[in-house]
Amino acid sequence: MDLTQFTPATWIGAVLAMLPTLGIILIGISYAIAPTAISRGFGFTSEITPEVTPWQHIKGPRDIVTGLLVIVILIGFGPAAAGVALLVETLIPIGDGVMILRNRGRVATAVGVHFATAALMIVAGVLLLV
């Protein structure tokens, strides 16, 4: 990692980027360990049935990989590349929030968790590009 690529703004962006990045890795690990328990906080109001369980298992690895990807890109390719990756990955929490709203899930969770995470990722991504 070439630290000369980092300006004060990109350092702030990197720190902000680590919040959702490390958070989503921990959530992914939680899905791998206890998918039904962690799913209750995702935002859906419907009952978690055995038919849903396979989808819960898919979410864990997805979350772990998306978090690790930002870290690997930041270390290997620098802040600008990590900023682009983070901005692209913002589509994930936006999509999750929209999916919750479309299925009459908890609005507070869609906005307070998923859309707020997307907003933080946008700020961090833009700062990494500065």
**Per-domain residue ranges for the chain?**
3-129
pTM: 0.88
- What are the CA-CA distances from residue 35 to residues 49, 62, 74, 99 (Å)? 12, 13, 29, 18
pLDDT (tens place) for every residue of the chain, 130 residues total: 677 778 999 999 999 999 999 999 999 999 888 887 887 788 877 777 777 777 777 888 999 999 999 999 999 999 999 999 999 999 999 999 999 999 888 999 999 999 999 999 999 999 999 8
Measured between alpha carbons, how far is 14 from 8 in angstroms, rounded to an integer? Answer: 10
Measured between alpha carbons, how far is 106 from 18 in angstroms, rounded to an integer? Answer: 26
Q: Dig out the tokens for 36 from the structure.
A: 């039904």
Measured between alpha carbons, how far is 86 from 103 in angstroms, rounded to an integer? Answer: 26
